[in-house]
Chains A and B, each alone.
Chain A
Amino acid sequence: MKPRYKRFILVVVALALLTLGAMFVLKAFRSNLVFFYTPTEVLAGQVPQGQAFRIGGMVLEGSVGREEDGLTVRFEVTDTLESVPVQYTGILPDLFQEGKGVVAQGRMNAQAIFIADQVLAKHDENYMPPEAAEALERARQIKMDNQ
């Protein structure tokens, strides 16, 4: 009887640990999901306050400017309908360019400026970041619905 009893305890303990682990994993998972919004959705107030999210679209032509310190960059992300001002401190990726696709991750501040802590551009000349493409596509849909 004894070895069987031991094995039973082993199985129960293992299952308990696994359940605990799974709960822990799912909790960490839920609190670290980053949602994506287009500029139109951001300006329509669909973004939950105080939460980090991603915004995507094109860098508006002529919108890139620098602060005095040379490190802080301001630009606008547009989906062709609306645009959101973004501020980022640091070095931009090599392929960040006006009129090209961009994705930024961060939060809105009280002045309705998106403070980005990460800016992503595409990996080579051909492809758009999928979020940026999605933002343009959603804006195109809205335009078509309005016509």
Chain B
Amino acid sequence: MTPEIGHFAIILALCVAIAQAFFSLVGATRGYVNWMAVSRPSAYVLFFLTAFGFCCLVVSFLTNDFSVLNVASNSNSQLPWPYRLAASWGSHEGSLLLWVLMLSGWMAAVARFSKGVPKDMLSLILGVMAIVAIGFYSFLLLTSNPFDRLLPPAMDGRDLNPLLQDPGMVIHPPMLYMGYVGFSVVFAFAIAALISGRLDTTWARWSRPWTTIAWAFLTVGIALGSWWAYYELGWGGWWFWDPVENASFMPWLCGTALMHSLLVTEKRGSFKIWTVLLAIITFSLSLLGTFLVRSGVLTSVHAFATDPERGVFILGFLVFVVGSSLLLFAWRAPKVGLGGRFSLISRESALLANNVLLVVAAASVLLGTLYPLFLDALGFGKISVGPPYFDAVFVPIMVPAMFLMGIGPIARWKKSSVPELAVKLKWAFAIAVISALLMPFAMGDWSILVSFGLLMATWIALAGLVNLWTRLKQMSSGEDRTLLGSFLAIPNAYYGMLFAHWGVAVFIVGVTLVNGYEVEKDVKMSLGNTVTIGEYTIRLDALKDLKGPNYTGVEGSMAILVDGKEVDRMFPQKRLYTVQQMPMTEAAIDTGFTRDLYISLGEPLNDGSWVVRVYLKPFVDWIWGGAFLMALGGVLAVSDRRYRRASQDEENRGEKTASS
């Protein structure tokens, strides 16, 4: 019965979404107060119904109900329960149910936390989101019903893809989807503002925290995916420029640009049209990402079945959403006035340049991702665009953006001057240059690329420190405050910015050092053999058989020696998941602050020895650490008091921040 009840709840949810879209949008445009009143409670009902349906699916998975097709094809009675839970969003159908759960969750959150937003605006926003919801609920029900029965029921399930049986995979999809779907909020705000013609600084202030929090989730989601690829695929790489990765990276790039342009729109009233366009583009790229990953045009661990019907549906919906919002944009945007003027050297200019660079970077990733698909679809044969393209293009585009990250936050709004900036930043720049030239020697080997990467990282970090110091001095000199007092008085949003930028610096350190100094060795090892990598000597001591809940395999026991003394022991595994007869490499990783030691078993050879892969990856964890710092920055920014305060003293606050 449970799956049928769940199915029914989702059908009801679709009906609620249709009613909500109708009453909210018509009510708001015609000014019917009673109709508008529907939008808020219906958002709660929608969320409740979807969550209920989702729980039904989870129950089917947890209780091993193999009469449900989805459970039978993606789970197994031997599967440990956390993975049975994760399996409920591990399949195509389940992940779409997660998608709509997230969407309805965001709608309920908007309904709950938008007390300051006028009724008609809120009604428009929820109405737009309801239309997006209608598209996805119909998609779910028409093409990918997660509750389909299997008659006769299977004796046991076909198991979850072993690659997904991993703690990182339990949380990666929900985080990523929170981000993807979260951009629907700022999209809805933008469309609502276009419809009502109220494209003002208040609109930007409402949109900002939603954008930032969605962005933070997306950052964590991408970082988790990259981390998973690093330890689970057994290659030791952290980013492959795979189309699936690019699908999530493009909305991230545009979302980053959007956060910065919303800042200008809120503080200075400029960039309004651009901000709206970016909001539309960012959400469209989220939809495009869903299309690429879910339609089966890409083959990867994410693409479950090549079902043309699904692809056509999402493509059609994508065209509808992008087309209608761009049409609305073209119709309404010319009526929006220009914002405050600014000079060539100003914070606005720096942010504008950052926006252009980020969007160009996203466009170049888009080109490399879509071009092969177009050629294939048009029958011109199969090609692939390799990582060298992305490396060659992406890095040079981002370098000026990273340089600007040091200058932008210090430049004044409206008008700044080069000598003033030079005075403020000369020491930061000098120290960055000197340390970038010297630091590679400490690692043992000087190279121009490493030096340049470190220059960018230290530049961003030091410019952030200078920024903080200037601000502290300013605050304590103006009013009668101690340094600590000013430290506490600075709003969280400011610290959010600093942390996010420092996160980028940490990330750059990780990428630069791992690319510059990683050591990779593939060797043949028998019992008692050793291999030396960096300061470590690794000895294969034993190989023993392994028996897990749903796999068998071999586990190597490796002694890690430094100067002949054993300091650690590592246990890489080679597993065979019995249900699907699928082999899997479980790398053993010794994580450290300055390096990872990475050992994975390749394959057994006839004489009883093994091919073993040994990596030394300096500073690799800084890559994900940096990403988490960025996300932390986003969370800090959203936790700022002023988002919770009533918005009456908006004007004078605008003046204050403009002068700081």
Whether the pair B522, A36 counts as a contact (CB closer than 8 A) is no
Per the bound structure, the CA–CA distance linking A134 and B372 in Å amounts to 15
A36 closest partner in B (C-beta) = B382
| A94 touches which of B234, B349, B524, B611 (Cβ 8 Å) | B234
Of residues 301 to 320 in B, which have CB atoms within 8 Å of A's CB atoms? 301, 303, 306
| A91-B522, A124-B161 known; A29 vs B299 contact (CB < 8 Å) | no
Whether the pair B611, A70 counts as a contact (CB closer than 8 A) is yes
Q: How many residues of A contact B (CB 8 A)?
A: 36
A28 vs chain B, min Cβ distance (A)? 4
Per the bound structure, the CA–CA distance linking A105 and B386 in Å amounts to 10
Residues of B contacting A3 in the complex (Cβ-Cβ under 8 angstroms): 341, 343
Per the bound structure, the CA–CA distance linking A141 and B220 in Å amounts to 47
B610-632 to A contact mask, C-beta < 8 Å, 1/0: 01010000000000000000000
Is A123 engaged at the interface, CB distance under 8 Å to the other chain?
A: yes
Of residues 265 to 305 in B, which have CB atoms within 8 Å of A's CB atoms? 299-301, 303
Residues of B contacting A91 in the complex (Cβ-Cβ under 8 angstroms): 234, 522, 600, 602-603, 611, 613
Residues of A contacting B564 in the complex (Cβ-Cβ under 8 angstroms): none
Whether the pair B301, A124 counts as a contact (CB closer than 8 A) is yes
Is B609 engaged at the interface, CB distance under 8 Å to the other chain?
A: yes
Is A131 engaged at the interface, CB distance under 8 Å to the other chain?
A: yes
Residues of A contacting B368 in the complex (Cβ-Cβ under 8 angstroms): 29
Is B334 engaged at the interface, CB distance under 8 Å to the other chain?
A: no
Per the bound structure, the CA–CA distance linking A123 and B161 in Å amounts to 9
B97 vs chain A, min Cβ distance (A)? 21
Whether the pair B384, A54 counts as a contact (CB closer than 8 A) is yes
Whether the pair B582, A69 counts as a contact (CB closer than 8 A) is no
Per the bound structure, the CA–CA distance linking A21 and B395 in Å amounts to 12
A12-35 to B contact mask, C-beta < 8 Å, 1/0: 001000100100110011001111
Given contacts A34-B384, A54-B382, A66-B606, 6 further A-B contacts (CB under 8 A): A29-B389, A32-B385, A66-B605, A71-B611, A94-B582, A134-B382
**Interfacial residues, chain B to chain A (CB-CB below 8 A):** 161, 163, 234, 299-301, 303, 306, 341, 343-344, 349, 356, 360, 364, 367-368, 371, 381-386, 388-389, 392-393, 396-397, 522-524, 580-585, 600, 602-603, 605-606, 609, 611, 613
21 A-B pairs (CB sep. < 8 Å): A3-B341, A3-B343, A6-B344, A10-B344, A24-B393, A28-B393, A29-B367, A34-B385, A35-B381, A71-B611, A91-B603, A92-B602, A92-B603, A105-B384, A122-B299, A123-B163, A123-B299, A124-B161, A125-B582, A127-B306, A129-B299
